[in-house]
Amino acid sequence: MDDEIKQWIYRYIDAYHTVTRRINARIRESIEEGLTSEQFQILRLIDGQPFCTSTYLSEALCVGKSSITAMINRLAEAGIIKRTRDENDRRLVYLAISENGRAIYETAEEKVLEVISPYLMNFDKDKVEQFITMFERLAELIQESGGSNE
């Protein structure tokens, strides 16, 4: 492997870890509702997906079904999300944010935006758009390959 490529990879890994660890820590500190950043992400995904299922969440978050079930159970027990069975196929269970959960989610969302926006505002809008577009493309490539580098 080319030395330049190796350096890009190491720079990416170092920057990724610094950003994700520090942002996640700041998010945890700022969300007073006791949500983890992972639980916030689950709520965000549920909010954006009509007829959201645990299978969808499992795939979107790249975690096993048993892990997602445990996370969903905790959120349901706390009254943050609710489960509804499909009337035509009782095996299908849809997830939605409860009324109580909606208030928690919206407050947490405000806090997350407050944590992240000051960092992005240090860059020109076109640079932010370029960065996010490239990062989304990287995510697409990883998704398409199923996580393997073939």
pLDDT of residue 33: 66
Mean pLDDT on 68-81: 95
Is residue 149 very low, low, confident or very high in pLDDT (cuts 50, 70, 90)?
Answer: low
Residues near 5 by beta carbon (within 8 Å), at least 6 away in sequence: none
pLDDT of residue 36: 83
**Bridge partners, 81 (sequence order):** 97
State how far the Cα of 118 lies from the Cα of 95, in Å rounded to an integer.
32
pLDDT digits (tens, 9 = 90+) for 25-58: 888 888 876 788 889 999 999 999 989 999 999 9
Q: Is 95 helix (H, G, I), strand (E, B) or coil?
A: strand
State how far the Cα of 27 lies from the Cα of 40, in Å rounded to an integer.
10
State how far the Cα of 74 lies from the Cα of 80, in Å rounded to an integer.
9
pLDDT of residue 147: 56
Least confident of 8-12, 87-91, 102-106: 87-91
Indicate the pairing of strand 81-85 with strand 93-97.
Answer: antiparallel
Q: Give the domain ranges of the chain.
A: 3-144
Determine whether domain 3-144 maps to CATH 2.40.50.100: no
Please say if the pLDDT value at position 86 is more than 90.
Answer: no
